[in-house]
Amino acid sequence: MEIIHIHTEGEAIYAKPDYKDSFQVNSFFVGNNLRKYVDHLNVQYVPVFLSEIPALLRRGATPVDVAIVQVSAPDKHGFCSLGISVDVAKAATDAARKIIAYVNPNMPRSHGDGHLHVSRFAAAVYGEEPIFEIPMFGSSEVELAIGRNVASIVEDRATLQMGIGGIPAAVLQCLTGHKDLGIHTEMFTDAVLPLVASGVINGKYKKKHPGKIVSAFAMGTRKLYDFIHDNPMVAMLDAGYVNDTAVIRRNDKVTAINSAVEIDITGQVCADSIGFNIISGVGGQMDFMRGASLSEGGKPIIALASVTEKGVSKIVPFLKEGAGVVTTRAHVHYVVTEYGIADLYGRNIAQRARALISIAHPDHREGLEKKAFELYGRP
């Protein structure tokens, strides 16, 4: 039996070596529960842009016999909602020969693409398990410093894309003085709710889906899920559409804020692995980095702390052996750390090295300068 999925939470029992003769796992995104198993013979990672996964499923390039999905309780017309996870689940239900539904009244009914009539279910199971929650991320002083730097280049009336974690939360905390921001993102969290409540996020000037928060999935607390429930301000849509660069670029001032494991001094971004070890996935980073760069006034941003928790520099002379280049040096415009902002757009290799070294941790700048001189003849 082959199991196909993107990010999952909880124990991945099916990936354990004990079951290698029963299950073959192909994951489009490696969560914490798969990291210790991935690259075993029966657990593999499939590198692919999030925007392309729905087409893989619908075209049959990755065949789906059975789609197992969690849905809301049916309405009076018999329609259930995919709720907070439309992303690639909608494409899976379109492509599958059979759909098995876990019907859960705790799943919010979202507006958008994720509606399925009960007549399409080959089988359904009813349950009332709480929807998985991720608590609000607190932000460290370093993350707040990064947030302030990012916020300084976010313009009023911008359309934002950002992910999950301390840095995106810190950026949002630092945008309270902005006006008329919009959201078009692959995912969002509780961190947007205060800005919606204050009117900072209203989508008033979006050209595509004005006034709406557009997303493919959401992860947060019950407060976020209650906000999404039957809220016409929120449109949960297919990832093939949300992450399409042709759609993203139609909004002006698209500001895409993404992170990285490490970045070399030419601007190559590794975001899915530590050397050969896969820790996440390509996801939608490139979809939005490219979409933002094509947007009128758009800003693709890579935001990261200058060092790891162990003090190792994340700005490096060259990426680790085996590291995956998720965002190429040609796609990177802004890189932000707690020490400042490096604008790499249109800069040559030597200029990029100087700019990136200037925002590295002070303890590592001399070593980076020496290596840059060795590699390129100038720091």
Q: Which residues carry out catalysis?
A: 186
- Structure token pair of residue 37: 């198993």
For 118-138, give one letter per residue: b (16+ CB within 10 A) or e.
bebbeeeeeeeeebeeeeebe
Sorted by sequence, the CB contacts under 8 Å of residue 194 that are 6+ apart come out as 172, 176
- DSSP class of residue 186 equals S
For 140-171, give one letter per residue: b (16+ CB within 10 A) or e.
eebbbbbbebbbeebeebbbbbbbbbbbbbbb
Query: Can you say whether the dihedral through the CA atoms of 357, 271, 235, 12 is positive or negative?
Result: negative
d(CA 251, CA 298): 9
Q: How many C-beta neighbours within 10 Å does residue 46 have? A: 16
d(CA 6, CA 27): 6
Q: What are the helix (H) ranges across 179-238?
A: 193-198, 222-228
Closest CA to 263 of 326, 175, 311: 326
- Structure token pair of residue 91: 């494409």
- Cβ-based burial of 367 (10 A; exposed 0-12, middle 13-18, buried ≥19): middle
- DSSP class of residue 85 equals B
d(CA 151, CA 169): 12
3-state secondary structure of 51: helix
Per-residue CA distances from 156 to 152, 160, 374 (Å): 11, 11, 42
Size (the chain), residues: 379
